[in-house]
Structure formats: structure tokens, C-alpha cells
Amino acid sequence: MIDFEPRPGHSDEVLFARDRASGRIRLNRPRAINALNPAMVAAISAQLHDWATDDAVHNLVIDGAGDRGLCAGGDIKALHAALVAGDRGALDFWADEYAMNALIANYRKPILTVMDGIVMGGGIGLAAYGAFRVVTARSQVAMPEVRIGFFPDVGTRFLLARAGALGTHLALTGEAVGPGDAIAVGFADALLSDERIAQVIEGLADDAPLRRTVGDPVTAELAGQTWLEDCYVGDDLTAVLTRLESHDDPAAGRAAATIRSRSPLSVAITFEGLRRAGQMTLLEVLDADTVLAPRLADSPDFLEGIRAQIVDKDHDPHWHHDRVEDVTTDEITHWFGS
């Protein structure tokens, strides 16, 4: 039995353990689906720095407590409360989170991340840059930020931009996908059963090399769909929506309706952001996220989106723009700062 404990001086919202050659990190807010808050990011980052120079730790494993998921993202409800109360210091969360993402991406030791159950937003940022990222049959993976007036952050535009039509679809709709499409879009490497994950973790504790194990057979429901490739092309967002709305496949029309229900400003910024990210490194995307995130906290849609989806849960946001077509090029340039 491994003894997980909080880092000294920190809460028990993240637990750590040494299992022979492995350092173990376990998110421990199961009732909140392990949503990340500033204290959790600080504890994880500090432990990562310590283990980076600990010669007895040869690899790391990141997973989540409970049976609902690895991580539902950042604790946006708490951030909303802080911003409404006038606490602008709460905006520092994003810079600290993105620095943690960069640390994981450049970590000198291999990291296994277990993307079980719900993995969204900041949960993907925590998991998607490990050396070997496994999903399970229960995995539901999403970057749902356009639902709350935000954008796909934690560096994920780097991956989404390189995933072609599927990446654009997931970014603009914010919809969740299962393990097959999570692998197809580049968020994960393989589907493994609970038994096989346990075997990999045990092997790491015995100091076995971390290899990208061949996963179980898995089917992608969206990747390769003809209508995706037909519609999500080019650099004109209005043209993309027109193609979706006029396509013969009913799935394309449903995708258009979903995008129309999201924050028009967020959709426009996300589309532009994907095109920019295609020419950037991961660290450059994370740096850009660090600039864009606090700016969008002052957008007309951010607090309204959180209110509608997470606080009041009436799911009836009143966006600043009626349609994506109403968002001007000058507005998009303003939010990016260039």
C-alpha cells in the first residue's frame, strides 16, 4: 500500500508519494472532479521541481482520486467569485498554471499521465504533455472554453492546430469526445484497461523504462468523417459555418448549431488563435496564452458565460454579439494585442 501524503505546508488537495523508482502525484478533490486551484498548482509545481533533481526518482505518474475523472479543469467557479469581488490577483492563476504546463512538457524525467474519466481544460494541460498519456474506456475529453466566453488555453491550441479538421471542430464546439478521438486529436497516446495501467505503473516503480505501450483497439467516432474535412478548411470562419450549415450530412448542421450557441467572440478568437498556433511552438503558444487569458477576463462574455454555465446553471448566456459574423477583425486584433 502506497502512503500518499500532502506536501508539507500544503493542503491535501494534491497528494504525493514515493513508490520505489516512481514519484506519484494524485489530484485529491474528487467531489469537484479534481478541479485545479492556485494552491494545487503551487504544490504540484514545487514537487516537480524537487523531483527533477532527486536522483532516486526516475519517473513520475500523475492520476486523480475518485471515479469521476482525472480533472475537470480549473476551478472556474472560484475564479469567478474572486473576480466579482474585485480580486484581480486571481488572474495570476493562469500564468502559474501555464508555467506548470511548460514544466511538464520539458520535464527531464518521463511522466505517465492517466486520463481516466472526465479530462477537460486544465486537466488536459496537466496530462497532454507527459511522455506517455493513456486514456480509458471511460474517458471523456474536451476543451469546452467557448461555452464560457474563453478560449482553448493551457497550450492546447498547439495540438488542436496540428489535428486539422478534427482539432478545429473540437475547439469551436467545445464538445467532449471519447478515447478514440482523444488519441486522434493528439491529446493521448493509447487506450489501456485498468489492469494494463496498473501493470505499467508497477513496472515504472520497478524502474522499467517508460515505453509507449501498444494500446487496446479503439474506434474514433469523429476522426476521418468526410463532412469534417469538407467543412473545416480555409481561413474564413464565416465560410466554415456556411459550409457546415449547407452540408448534406446532418452532423454538420448540428455542429453549426452548436458553434452558433457558443460565445461568438470566443469562437472568433479561437479560430484566429488556431491559425496563429499552427506556426508556433508549444512554449510560444503557452506564452501567448499567458497574455490572452487575463485580457479575456475583461471581455464582455467571460463572466456571463461562467454565470450561465457554472454559477446559476441556467444555460442561457446573453452574449455581447448575436452572431459570429458580428465580431470584427479589429476586435479580434484588439484581444490578441496585435
Q: Is the dihedral of CA 100, 29, 22, 51 positive or negative?
A: positive
Q: What is the pLDDT of residue 338?
A: 67
Contact by Cβ (8 Å): 39, 11: yes
Q: Beta strands 59-64 and 111-115: pairing type? A: parallel
So what's the pLDDT on residue 321?
Answer: 97
Residue 338 CA to residue 323 CA, distance in Å, equals 23
The residue type of 288 is: A
Number of domains, the chain:
1
Residue 80 has what pLDDT?
84
The answer, yes or no, to whether residue 284 has pLDDT greater than 70, is yes
Q: What is the domain-level CATH number for residue 164?
A: 3.90.226.10
> Could you give the percent of the chain with pLDDT greater than 90?
90
Residue with cell 486537466: 123
Residue among 207, 206, 246, 250 at smallest CA distance from 225: 250
Q: How confident is the model at residue 89 (pLDDT cuts 50, 70, 90)?
A: confident
Amino acid at 238: T
Average model confidence (pLDDT) for the chain?
96
Lowest mean pLDDT, pick from 13-17, 238-242, 295-299, 328-332: 295-299
Is pLDDT at 212 greater than 80 in this prediction? no
Give residue-wise pLDDT tens across range 22-71. 999 999 999 999 999 999 999 999 999 999 999 999 999 999 999 999 99
Q: What is the pLDDT of residue 214?
A: 79
Range of the domain at 245: 1-338
Residues contacting residue 28 through CB under 8 Å, at least 6 positions apart? 4, 12, 13, 14, 15, 34, 64, 65
Tens digit of pLDDT for each residue in 182-194? 999 999 999 999 9
Tell me which residue of 111, 103, 128 sits closest to 23, measured CA to CA.
111
Write the CA distances from 93 to 7, 20, 219, 282, integer angstroms: 19, 33, 36, 19
Residue 170's pLDDT band (boundaries 50, 70, 90)? Answer: very high
Q: Where are the alpha helices (DSSP H) in the chain?
A: 38-52, 76-84, 92-105, 122-127, 156-161, 164-173, 179-184, 194-205, 226-231, 237-246, 250-261, 264-277, 282-296, 302-306, 329-336
Which pLDDT value is given to residue 211?
80
CA distance 129 to 101: 7
